[in-house]
Amino acid sequence: MNRLVLFFHKTGSPPWFYRFAGKLIPWLWLLFAVLTAIGLYLGLIEAPPDYQQGESVRIMYLHVPAAWMSMMIYALMAVMGFIALVWRIRIMEILAISSAPVGAAFTLIALVTGSLWGRPTWGTYWVWDARLTSELVLLFLYMGVIALYNAYDEPRKAARAAALLSIVGAINLPIIHFSVQWWNTLHQGSSISMKGSSIDASMLWPLLIMAIAAKFYYGANLLSRARLRLLKQDHRKRWVNELLDEEH
């Protein structure tokens, strides 16, 4: 069996996953901190103010990565949920449900920063255009998954129900992506595409750096939550007690 396949098999074992994630998490936090420092420096200090919006455009460096993460995490949650449903891998169930609060938090950040950004630029805190509305609906989808998980008593059954719901809700994601093309909206048209972007490099770089930093945040946060949930679920098992004995 080659090393990559062996690695994936090992991650299915709770004690191995716990230790491996524990080693990975500090590095993820470090990379997050470094990239955020660079990104915020470039974005808040080096990058020029927008010719129309002035300094308030700088909220973009928080708002856009948060919005991108909110959608990416939902897609990942649905994929992890699918794997958990089909192959019944417990670690996948834990990772999927641990992603939900992180994704919901990013969605909330996107909504709040977007609202604060809208006030000076559009004159209003909120409009019901397609993109904003879809992001709000995405928040409700996250809350639905979390609520469904918490409604069940048995953790594995709860995780499978939540996984099913997140897959069904994944239909919403393409609608968010294409909503800017389907309706005439107030929101800025998609400026970053596969063909290249219409944003100047001095603004694009901080944006992309912040986006990557957000991914490291997600990784670190997700693994921390997953470890905690694993400990809670396995608290009667021998490997947890051995672990706790080790640490004393």
Partner 1 sequence: MSKPNAYSAFVALVRRDLLLAYRRRAELLQPLFFLLVVITLFPLGVGPSLSLLAKIAPGVIWIAALLATVLSLDGLFRSDFEDGTLEQMVLSGQSLALIALGRTVTHWLVAGLPIVLLSPLLAMWMNLPDSGMPVLIKSLALGTPVLSLIGAIGGALTVSLKRGGQLMSLLVFPLYVPLLILATNAVSSAVAGLPYNGQLGLMFAGLIAALTLAPFATAAALKLSLT
Residues found near partner 1 in the complex (CB under 8 A): 85, 130, 133, 137-138, 140-141, 143-144, 147-148, 151-152, 157, 160-161, 164-165, 167-169, 171-172, 175
Residue tagged 């996948």 (tokens): 92
Burial class, 151, CB count within 10 angstroms (exposed 0-12 / middle 13-18 / buried 19+): exposed
Bridge partners of residue 197, in order along the sequence: 192
CA–CA distance, 105 with 51 (Å, rounded to integer): 31
Comparison of 90 and 160: residue with beta carbon closer to partner 1? 160
Q: How far is the CB of 111 from partner 1 (least distance, A)?
A: 14
**Smallest distance, partner 1 to C-beta of residue 160, A:** 6
Task: Choose between 36 and 99: whose C-beta lies nearer to partner 1.
Answer: 99
* Percentages (nearest 5) of helix, strand, coil residues in the chain: 80, 0, 20
Query: What amino acid occupies position 146?
Result: I
Name the residue among 142, 130, 30 with its Cα closest to residue 75: 142
Q: How far is the CB of 179 from partner 1 (least distance, A)?
A: 9
Q: What's the closest the beta carbon of residue 64 comes to partner 1, in angstroms?
A: 23
Residue nearer to partner 1 on the CB measure, 51 or 182: 182
Q: What are the distances in angstroms from CA 71 to CA 45, 61, 123?
A: 28, 16, 26
Q: By C-beta, is 60 or 141 nearer to partner 1?
A: 141
Provide the minimum distance between the beta carbon of 39 and partner 1 in the complex, in angstroms, as a whole number.
Answer: 32
Q: Please give the Cα distance from 222 to 105 (Å, whole number).
A: 12
Residues 114 and 174: their CA atoms lie apart, in Å, by: 20
Q: Three-state DSSP class for 199?
A: coil
Q: Which is closer to partner 1, CB of 7 or CB of 183?
A: 183
Q: State in angstroms the smallest separation of the CB of 96 from partner 1.
A: 15
Q: Tell the smallest beta-carbon distance from residue 57 to partner 1 (Å).
A: 29
- R_g of the chain computed on alpha carbons: 20
Judged by beta carbon, residue 25 or residue 137, the one nearer partner 1 is 137
Phi, psi of 163 (to 5 degrees): -65, -45
Nearer residue to partner 1 within complex by CB, 58 or 160 = 160
